[in-house]
Amino acid sequence: MTPKILIRTIWIIGLVFASMNTLASDDKTININQDWQYLQENHANVSQALNSKNWQSIQLPHTWNRTDTVDAQPGYRRDASWYKKRLELSNAKRQFLYFESANTQADVYVNGKLVGTNIGGYIGFTFEITDYVNRDKIANIMVRVSNAYNPDIIPSQKSDFFIFGGLTRDVWLIESDDVYLDNLIVTTPKVSQDIAEAVIELDFDSTKSYPQSTLVAEIFDQTDKVVSKTHANIAINQGAQSLTLALNKIANPALWSVDSPDLYRVKVTISDKDRVLASKQVTTGFRWFEHKEGKGFFLNGERVLLRGTHRHEEHAGLGAALSNIQHRKDLEQIKNIGANFVRLGHYPQDPEVYKAANELGLIVWDELPWCRGGKGGETWEANTESLLTRQIQQNRNHPSIAFWSIGNEMYWEEDFPGGGAEDVVTPYVQKLNDLIKDIDPSRFTTLRKYYPGADIVDIFSPSIWAGWYGGAYGQYEEALQSSREKYPALIHMEYGGSSHVGRHEETPIDELGIRDAQVSVSEAMNQAIVKSVAKDSNWNENYMVNLFDWHLSVSERFPGFIGNAQWAFKDFGTPLRPENPIPYINQKGLVDRAGNPKDSYYVFASYWQKTPMCYIESKTWTVRYGPKAGRNVKVYCNTEQAELYLNGETLGKKDRIHGQYPAHGLVWKVPFSEGNNQLYVKGFNDGSMVIEDSLELEYKVGTHDTPKKVALSSERVSENLYLVTASIIDSDGRLVTDYEDRGYFSSLDSNAKLIENQGTPNGSSSIELANGIARILVQKTSNAQAVVEFKTQNFKGQYVRID
């Protein structure tokens, strides 16, 4: 059978290649992250930058906003900087530079000449540098990168996250023959349990004509066995071309799913007689998605309840310059909790993120960074449409992606007069939806919280923040039901709230919420005029544990529900929240900004995680006050039964009832003894113990007195690293657990430095106390004694000496 093949000639102006959807290529591909120089000065041209004496040695990925986003100084650096690197090249006929991203505008120079400019962050771009390399095969690369304020580039300055500047992802050198394969897209027009069809769309560019060439396309399964092989004769013309080719079908394909994420490798080789001109390979998978109204989301014909969360691309001490190891660690942590769905908010993320989602079995919501700001003019439109087009072309091969999101809260906080008006935004939402469908009709289009666009996209999410920005968490089921009546293709993106690690209450706000608070569960744009838990509570961990427990008990049993995604998996930085307990940190994470689990993490694990787990609430609640009869203790387990012990004596074994609020019914009244107590739990499946957990805490009958003083202590964590703890105590030395003022750490000499500006519970020099305690890590820098100070507005300073 002769394969169907369609060849088109493309005229390209300039030498810019839009994207590179894989690095798996027989072209020589070299990572060039090492041995760069960085200049934190905004010079207008190459010569001025080269004349500077302030170049520093760095490695990529890199951002100049690693820590200044979360320091005590308002604002963060929004400006331009320079990078440079010297490359010695081989005798390959063509050379290219591939940048996985540059935030948010980049000018690339080679040997002093401008090669090209890329506008827009978060997406990769490729420049050919062949004609800029000198005879000695030397390429002196210089890149000017800017994240300066520019309303014509999304996302908006008013977005609730930082716009990190720099070369925040990997950079690669690609060396090829005359023919360069730029983009290899694999589409799957028909997939079933019995058969899979694949079609390739290939963009390539050649410096010579090869009129009698051969193309071979092979599909390899998980064992590297060839399961499909297609030959085609093609004519390669000088310049840019594109072809579409239907490949031979695959019988009984192994389908990609959340539990069995089977992947295939597609390799394309172009030859002239016995000479290989170019070769490229990508990873793909065979699966199909469906939404059935009133029945839910289906993957490969089987209903899948989307159990999800969100991810921002940042980490404590790194900003957005994460290694591939850290990217994958984040996705593994999400998968390990039992999630099967992740929204990449609010922008396309590192290629390693999609690779990990493919391999781990995580369904992805991929979002255009149209976040707030409204719609701009012609330049804004051109930049936005270019970014969307490149995003889809770059990411189309990933089987994990089910949703292309047009944006989030686009009409809020307009950057252009009238840019948030419905008659302005709605037609543009329609235009972007049509653009997506033209490029990739196989996936769902989505958006969040732009109600006039609900009927335009395939799947829609309203704003439901039951028990946080409005209403009470006891309203969640009613809110879902009323929303689905309005929006039959309902998915719920963003729920939860903030928690300050270590802050606890015996009687947190219940499912009825705050009296006289805003009744609506939707987030109001102007928070100054509403009363809500977000504004009028202390962000204790106990409340968030209960809120999530309630939400999950509802969503797990809500009939025909597509699913939801908690906001957000990890704490992240934001310029809009300077007065949070940890300044400039959105504290809605299930883990802190360094990835350490909070109590809420274990609630989700008890619902979703497949491996046995038990967690006694809470490891950060080790001093409790109460009556002589004791207090209730909740244990979150996913085992069939659990048995709790106090000081070696059993308090009884209980059956776990999935979804029973609270804690699946695993709640004990614990008769604590005055002083130190040891709690221990065993989890059982089929009558055998499979997991255990323990907690040591101090229990005091009655309550503490008023704050009297600060007690400071230091504990050695590792060589030259110490944990300094500040405790507010009463006149009897008892911890004052309701003390919540802001405290400040400082080093009083050069013998130690604070590990600060991390945006974490023990990496922030300005932080609200949690149950009367604040902590910070301190690094000794000499053998001499160091002095660290702690103070609050009312306690004028206490010192600890570290020998």
> Which residues have a catalytic role annotated?
409
- CB contact at 8 A, 429 and 391: no
> Which ranges constitute the DSSP H helices of 440-557?
476-486, 533-536, 541-555
Residues contacting residue 644 through CB under 8 Å, at least 6 positions apart: 616, 633, 635, 650, 651, 652, 654, 668, 670, 679, 680, 681
User: Exposed, middle or buried by CB within 10 Å (0-12, 13-18, 19+), for 638?
Assistant: buried
Within 13 Å and on the Cβ side, how many CA atoms surround 114? 10
Residue with tokens 């369609």: 6
- Other beta carbons less than 10 A from residue 65's beta carbon: 23
The amino acid at residue 64 is: W
The span from the CA of 679 to the CA of 723, in Å, is: 26
The torsion of the CA quartet 484, 256, 494, 435, rounded to 10 degrees, works out to -80
In this structure, are residues 71 and 77 in contact, taking their beta carbons and an 8 Å threshold?
Answer: no
Q: Are 289 and 298 in contact (CB under 8 A)?
A: yes
Cα separation, 423 vs 122, whole angstroms:
29
3-state secondary structure of 642: strand
What secondary structure, in 3-state letters, does 695-711 show?
Answer: EEEEEEECCCCCCCEEE
Total Cβ atoms within 10 A of residue 8 = 10
Measuring CA to CA, which residue among 435, 438, 456, 436 is closest to residue 447? 456
CB count in 10 Å sphere of residue 522 = 18
Q: Give pairs for 230-233: CB < 8 Å, separation 24+.
A: 230/3, 231/3, 232/3, 232/5
Q: Which residues contact 785 (CB under 8 A, 6 or more apart)?
A: 751, 801, 802, 803
Q: Own/partner pairs for 691-694, CB < 8 Å, 24+ apart?
A: 691/612, 691/613, 691/614, 691/637, 691/639, 692/614, 693/614, 693/615, 693/616, 693/635, 694/616
Cα gap 104→150, rounded to integer Å: 9
| Contact status, residue 800 vs residue 787, Cβ threshold 8 Å | yes
Tell me which long-range contacts 710-714 makes (C-beta under 8 A, separation of at least 24).
710/790, 710/791, 710/792, 710/795, 710/798, 711/798, 712/788, 712/790, 712/798, 712/799, 712/800, 713/800, 714/778, 714/788, 714/800, 714/802
- CA–CA separation, 742 and 719 (whole Å): 29
**Cα distances (angstroms) measured from residue 510 to each of 390, 506, 543, 740:** 47, 11, 8, 21
DSSP state of 476: H
The count of other CB atoms within 10 Å of the CB of residue 536 is 12
Q: Give the three-state DSSP class for 608.
A: helix
Separation CA 517–CA 474 (nearest Å)? 14
Q: Are 760 and 582 in contact (CB under 8 A)?
A: yes
Beta strands in 464-602 (DSSP E): 492-493, 563-566, 572-573, 585-586
Hey, how many other C-beta atoms are within 10 angstroms of the C-beta on 314? 27
> How many residues are there in the chain?
803
* Angle, CA 219 vertex, CA 216 and CA 220 arms, to 5°: 130
